Amino acid sequence: MRYLQRPCTRLILITSLLCIGEVLLRELLAGALLPLLLLYALRCGEEEEQAVIPLGLIVAAAWLTNIPAAVIVNYSLALLIVILAIFQAICACSDLWRARRFLGAALAAFFLVPAAYERRWVNISEVLSPGVRPQDNFLFAKINDADHNRFNLLVSLVATAEMIVLAVAIFFSRRWRQKSPALWYALIGWVAFAVFGSTFRSPRSCGCILPELRFLQLPWRWLLCLNVTFALLVTMASQRWISRLLICLAMLAVLAFVWYRVQPPWWETAEDFGEMLEQQKTGAGYEGTDEYVPAGADSYGS
């Protein structure tokens, strides 16, 4: 029976729609592609040739939506390929897998080629300046910046709560090892990769080995993947809506706690927005981002 006729596929599609409801930023929009990435990766075992175009479109959409999220999508796809190659009769090194990557990059080439060429025009190294370097943004990392540390603590506490719930959900979803082993182990592998990527601090995990991974900047961006696995494994772990409701309420309580006791998720005030509006009206403009300042220019000079 095809995956579109299976409960796990309907579950993934519903999760994708729920993720779209979170779209407030382009990065979250790219996160909504992750459930579809998992879906079409799972379908490759039965419809490998038919899945080439959908996966290529997903990769292209990620590049056109948000570059750090596209890095996550590409490495997540590589991980899923390896896991599914074990549980489904597919070859992780086949020409079809390479075709997906090539198709995704080719569809987004009108953006990727100029972006790669024009990196020399700006201070792109500022992307990895202190405060936004990978080593400064692992969970519970601290630097000499109180605002940064408070926001990082907020993200870290929410991520920790999510990981605890995930550990329980993994235990109670064990029956899926027999019902759909490819899906279950793909989710477990994805969880492990996301947890490792967001918490394990070392020069290697800062992106010194994997190409372009350093441009992820913020390792806690792997929580985009953790959110997908969270929704799926919690649903797989319990058939009772009351259990799922209690988990949602518990996570909302964690969010409320960090909101009031650690750091509001958004600390700009109405006065700050008013000042920005006034600067635009007077022609003074607004403060830019250092990595997009022309090469050789000083954004803070007179």
In a domain, 228, yes or no: yes
Residue 294 pLDDT exceeds 80: no
- 21, part of any domain: yes
- 31, part of any domain: yes
Q: What is the pTM of this model?
A: 0.79
- How far is it, in rounded angstroms, from Cα 107 to Cα 267? 38
Q: Does residue 144 sit within a domain?
A: yes
- 94 vs 178 pLDDT, higher one: 178
Query: Is 9 in the same domain as 59?
Result: yes
Are 152 and 250 contained in the same domain? Answer: yes
Res 130 pLDDT > 50:
yes
The closest alpha carbon to 160, from 134, 186, 198, belongs to: 198
pLDDT tops 60 at residue 17: no
Q: Report the pLDDT value the prediction gives residue 103, as an integer from 0 to 100.
A: 76
- Other beta carbons within 10 angstroms of residue 48's beta carbon come to 16
The reply to whether 9 falls in a domain is yes
- pLDDT at 94 exceeding the cut of 70: no
Q: Are residues 197 and 174 in the same domain?
A: yes
Question: Is residue 4 pLDDT above 50, yes or no?
Answer: no
Return the number of other C-beta atoms located less than 10 Å from residue 134's C-beta: 23
Answer with the one of 123, 151, 182 that is the final residue of a domain. 123
More confident residue, 94 or 27: 27
Contact 128, 214 (CB under 8 A): yes
pLDDT of 203 over the 60 cut: no
pLDDT for position 162:
93
Judge if 139 and 100 occupy the same domain. no
Out of 123, 143, 172, pick the residue that ends a domain.
Answer: 123
Note whether residue 290 is domain-resident: no
Whether the predicted pLDDT of 185 surpasses 50: yes
For the chain, give the number of residues. Answer: 302
Residue 275 is assigned to a structural domain of this protein: no
Residue 231, pLDDT above cutoff 80: yes
**Same domain (yes/no): 117, 140:** no
pLDDT bucket at 18, cuts 50 / 70 / 90: very low
The domain boundary, picked from 123, 147, 174, lies at: 123
Mean pLDDT of 18-23: 41
- How many structural domains is the chain composed of? 2
Both 12 and 119 in one domain: the answer is: yes
Q: Tell me, what's the pLDDT at 16?
A: 47
Residue 93 structural domain = 1-123
Output 21 or 44, whichever has higher pLDDT: 44
One domain, residues 140 and 178? yes
Which pLDDT score, from 0 to 100, does residue 202 have? 58
Same domain as 159, residue 96:
no
> Is 288 a member of any domain?
no
Is residue 232 over pLDDT 60? yes
Q: Tell me the Cα Rg of the chain.
A: 21
Same structural domain, 204 and 137 = yes
Of the two residues 285 and 163, the one the predictor is more confident about is 163
What single letter denotes the amino acid at residue 203? P
Q: Are residues 14 and 111 in the same domain?
A: yes
Chain centroid to Cα 20, Å, comes to 13
Name the pLDDT band for 20 (thresholds 50, 70, 90): very low
Both 119 and 143 in one domain: the answer is no
User: Is 136 in the same domain as 253?
Assistant: yes
Please compute the mean of the pLDDT values over residues 96-124 and round it to a whole number.
Answer: 78
DSSP-assigned states of every residue in the chain: --GGGSHHHHHHHHHHHHHHTT-SSHHHHHHTTHHHHHHHHHHHHHHTTTTHHHHHHHHHHHHHH-HHHHHHHHHHHHHHHHHHHHHSS--TT-HHHHHHHHHHHHHTHHHHHHHHHGGGGBTGGGGGSTTSSGGGSSTT---S-HHHHHHHHHHHHHHHHHHHHHHHHHHHTTTHHHH-HHHHHHHHHHHHHHHHHHH--STIIIIISSTTGGGG--GGGGHHHHHHHHHHHHHHH---HHHHHHHHHHHHHHHHHHHHHT--S----HHHHHHHHHHHHHT------GGGSBTT--TT--
Give percent of the chain above pLDDT 70: 76
pLDDT of residue 22: 40
Span of 22-36, 101-115, 169-183 with lowest mean pLDDT: 22-36
